[in-house]
Structure 1
Amino acid sequence: MCAIRIRLGILGADDSLPVIQAVAEEYKEFVCLPVVYWDESEILDLIRPLASEADMWLFSGQVPYSIVKQSGEVEVPLFYVPHTGASLYRTLLQAYYTEQIPIGQLSFDTYERDEVERLLEEAGIKEPVPYIKHYEGGISAQELAGYHYDLWRQGKTKAAVTCLRTAHLEMEKIGMPVYRVLPARSAVEAVVQTIIRTGEMLRVQEAQIAVQMIEVDSMVTASPETFSTDEIYKMEMKTTEKLLRYAKNVQGSLKSAGPGRYVIFTTRGALKEMTAGYQTIPPAEEMAHLYEEIAACGIGIGRTAYEAEIQAGKAFLHAKQYGRGAWMVALDDGTIAGPLGKGERIRYSFGGEELRELAGRTGLSAATLGKLKAVLRKHGNNEIEAHELAAYMQILPRSARRILKELEAAGLAEAIGETNPYPRGRPRKVYRLFL
């Protein structure tokens, strides 16, 4: 009997996706959602429609994995198949068997030099690898193809060995000899086993206690014509009844925490499902139409009920900073996410030694600096102007300008130019941040 059922999104190039999918489909634990891509620029657009359908994602390599990871848009576990061991041995055998090309006349990418040399030594081949381009995270197909092409054109190599399908296609297009490293079955099976263990761990986590801290304002629905202490009491009772119905919908229990403040104890899984993985606020029918009355809401996830309650308090305070009706969640990995249901939703750290060190150099808090780093990740680069920053952080432009000035004074930002969005508008300074 199958213990878990994981909806596994699999994204890969046209030649690697069938290899990975064939292995994954042998396991009853998976319902596979295959997605093929032809260009790195389309990866995020391809996975966004499946964001709520996949429990985890498996990528065919380091580049697509890094693109999605760095975007911060996908909050479920992400994995990729490394092109090591058998994958590389097979490619080198092919190069030598078909064209008798020695190692020294091949150019490589993705791998670290000592990694390739160690693999060769294990096969009894003690030969240096002179041409290799290692990179961290993502890289463009054009940059990789250009590296291999320059060496080949200069006569230093006879062929290239690449792990990136789009670079492989670029080199084939210009007529350059190139060998593609495809995922080996053993590497795919190793990652698949890790995914299954992760699924089992997450299933246990879903049963953990989560806490929701809510502040309500019953007065927003008051009619000035019938305003009295009796009416106030009736409104508060009506709001409490709505909260009780909502607590039942999330399979939790409601506790009062003072005037207008309530705490709901429930399970991590129930809240995660109700908020679509902490991305949206619950639908109206589940919320018992409480939207008008809720002033702020914080969700806390922790290893114990006490820790979850502390986390909920942190999330609640961050929600208060974002303004009326904001929902935030504090996760057990030390990050804050939100506001839920907003297009500008970001995920940022509110602790860590690095942030505390940066906070000591500026007049900004570690939480604000954590938000800034998250904004830059979502923005896609480290250049931004005050109005853009204000929109992401949901603050006033003058507050954003103050933050940028603080960073500039501390040497963590510099003004690099101006932009004028309107013909008669006031020029806006563009800053480059060094966080």
Structure 2
Amino acid sequence: MKKIRLGLLGSDDSIDVIQSVIKEYPEFECTPIIYWREEEIPDLLSPIANDFDIWLFSGKVPYAIAKSWGGITKPMFFTPHTGPSLYKTLLQIFYHNQIAMEQISFDNFHYDELNSILDEAEIKANHLYLKYYEGEEVDAKVLAGYHYELWKSGKTKAAVTCLRSAHIELEKMGVPVYRVLPAKSAIESVLNLALRTYEMLHFKESQIAVQMIEIDSYFGLAKDTFSTDEIYKIEIKMAEKLLVYANKVQGSLKSAGPGRYVIFTTRGLLQDITNEFSIIPNLEDLEELKKEVITCGIGIGKTAYEAEIHAGRALFHAREYGKGSWMVALDNQTIAGPLGREEQITYSYVSKELQKISEQTSLSISTLSKLESILKKIGKSEIGAHELAQYMQIMPRSARRILKELEEQGIAQVIGEETPYSRGRPRNIYKITL
């Protein structure tokens, strides 16, 4: 069985603990990467970001920095500093130095989270010194300074930190400091989650993907040479080009009638060349093909039949966006596209609520799903006809008709007006409740 390549990035002491647990998981082939300063994390990741199947970080700080950097496309996990992690540290403090909770400064934990952990252990504290920070915003020297000032003023006798770089700084300052390391139970939980995620993704990559392509049989045909023979020759040439493309995606090509072709391949391959279903494949030797393809629908399914049904649905939606449009229908009953365009949206094509509204109006579920997706994308429930028309790529009068019909059913209401130009009638702004 092929091993799962696991990239493990963290501080030296955390990596030792995590690796001791990973040894019990023969499914993983682990490569440790140690960092000493948080600011060097992007540079460490840059050359190897996608060399692994899964990434594991030794805490939420390196994880948040890596996520904010954005160069990793593989699944990412981190080991949390849970209750058992802190209990072990507190036990050491109480056993060796018998320091009261009110004389310890903490970091990383949220106030409610720390209180919950202590309540669970029935540890009482009148007040807590706590420095909370968002992962990517951490500064080791600032954090160390917080603990140092409390210790120097006599308010605390020890510091508890989750950050290795702050731990090193505090040791230099002479502050009694204890480090919170990931607990074995937390590491095991994350590794099991990573395994399940990998298995799910591996299954998804092997799902059937079908591309249903419509071409322009008249493309390149001279006006004065119109004949069925010429059209036949053009379709033969097109089939040859599509066969080259099918080989690129390791798929098989079949004709589905005049001007329509179907390519069977796997989700993983198609997902790669479309950059997670966001762009039209950029293949140099197939540039001419893009001009001739009218529309393309991509369908994903557990079986070839299911994928082909989804491809047909995606093709139907692609037609609404005009020539050269590509759409994808995923197995979670959502449509996404048009691929490669800024206004790309994702919307569900099955919804009981939308089905009910569709029955009340003359609007299709497809139209209502697009509207719902647009509202989610812009992050508000208010929209005007011109803005809706731009997103849906329809005429403003068609957008006004949609909004007017929703208003008649009490689903939309006019809440204001806008006047974008010095002349002309004001435009209504609608609040929509789907």
TM-score (norm 1): 0.67
Distance 2:233 2:252 in 1: 22
Q: Tell whether 2:378 aligns with 1:379.
A: yes
The residue type equivalent to 1:428 in the other structure is R
Contact 1:298–1:314, Cα closer than 8 Å, also in 2: yes
- How far residue 214 of structure 1 moved from its aligned partner, in angstroms, is 0.9
Distance 2:383 2:364 in 1: 20
Q: Tell whether 2:207 aligns with 1:199.
A: no
* Paired residue secondary structure (1:273): helix
* Paired residue secondary structure (1:220): coil
Q: Tell whether 2:84 aligns with 1:86.
A: yes
- How far residue 232 of structure 1 moved from its aligned partner, in angstroms, is 1.8
Distance 2:15 2:409 in 1: 48
Distance 1:75 1:58 in 2: 13
2:342 matched to which residue of 1? 343
1:321 matched to which residue of 2? 320
2:392 matched to which residue of 1? 393
1:356 matched to which residue of 2? 355
2:274 matched to which residue of 1? 275
2:368 matched to which residue of 1? 369
Distance 1:57 1:355 in 2: 39
1:148 matched to which residue of 2? none
- Deviation track 1:218-268 (CA, whole Å, cap 9, x = no partner) reads 213222133333322221221121112211211111111112111111122
1:419 matched to which residue of 2? 418
Q: Tell whether 2:11 aligns with 1:3.
A: no
Alignment gaps of 5+ in structure 1: 39-49, 69-73, 103-107, 130-155
- Deviation track 1:366-395 (CA, whole Å, cap 9, x = no partner) reads 333322232223223333323332222222
Distance 1:429 1:21 in 2: 63
The residue type equivalent to 1:347 in the other structure is T
1:227 matched to which residue of 2? 226
Contact 1:245–1:288, Cα closer than 8 Å, also in 2: no
Contact 2:5–2:54, Cα closer than 8 Å, also in 1: no
The residue type equivalent to 1:86 in the other structure is P
1:100 matched to which residue of 2? 101
* Paired residue secondary structure (2:294): strand
The residue type equivalent to 2:412 in the other structure is A
The residue type equivalent to 1:324 in the other structure is K
* Paired residue secondary structure (1:406): helix
1:45 matched to which residue of 2? none
1:248 matched to which residue of 2? 247
Distance 2:284 2:386 in 1: 36
- Cα 1:29–1:281, aligned 2, differ >3 Å: closer, same or farther? farther
Contact 1:209–1:301, Cα closer than 8 Å, also in 2: yes
Deviates most, 346-355 or 80-89: 80-89
Distance 1:286 1:226 in 2: 28
* Paired residue secondary structure (2:428): strand
2:156 matched to which residue of 1? none
Distance 2:55 2:385 in 1: 35
- Cα 1:202–1:324, aligned 2, differ >3 Å: closer, same or farther? same
1:238 matched to which residue of 2? 237
- How far residue 431 of structure 1 moved from its aligned partner, in angstroms, is 2.8
Contact 2:15–2:32, Cα closer than 8 Å, also in 1: no
Distance 2:336 2:428 in 1: 28
* Paired residue secondary structure (2:280): coil
The residue type equivalent to 2:375 in the other structure is L
- Cα 1:321–1:372, aligned 2, differ >3 Å: closer, same or farther? same
Contact 1:213–1:312, Cα closer than 8 Å, also in 2: yes
The residue type equivalent to 2:278 in the other structure is Q
1:410 matched to which residue of 2? 409
Distance 1:307 1:388 in 2: 35
Distance 1:157 1:404 in 2: 56
- Cα 1:4–1:262, aligned 2, differ >3 Å: closer, same or farther? same
Contact 1:160–1:179, Cα closer than 8 Å, also in 2: no
Contact 2:335–2:348, Cα closer than 8 Å, also in 1: yes
Which of these two proteins has the greater Rg computed from alpha carbons? 2
What is the number of equivalent residue pairs in this alignment?
383
Cα RMSD, aligned residues only: 5.1
Distance 2:372 2:206 in 1: 32
Distance 1:179 1:369 in 2: 53
Distance 2:288 2:362 in 1: 41
- Deviation track 1:9-61 (CA, whole Å, cap 9, x = no partner) reads 99xxxx99x979995998645798x9x999xxxxxxxxxxx999997788976
Correspondences of 1:83-162 after superposition (within 5 Å): 84-86=82-84, 100-101=101-102, 119-120=117-118, 122-123=120-121, 125=122, 162=132
* Paired residue secondary structure (1:218): coil
Percent of aligned positions that are identical? 49
The residue type equivalent to 1:297 in the other structure is C
TM-score (norm 2): 0.67
2:284 matched to which residue of 1? 285
Contact 2:217–2:234, Cα closer than 8 Å, also in 1: yes
- Deviation track 1:338-378 (CA, whole Å, cap 9, x = no partner) reads 11111111111111334334444554333333222322232
Distance 1:423 1:206 in 2: 54
- Cα 1:51–1:373, aligned 2, differ >3 Å: closer, same or farther? farther
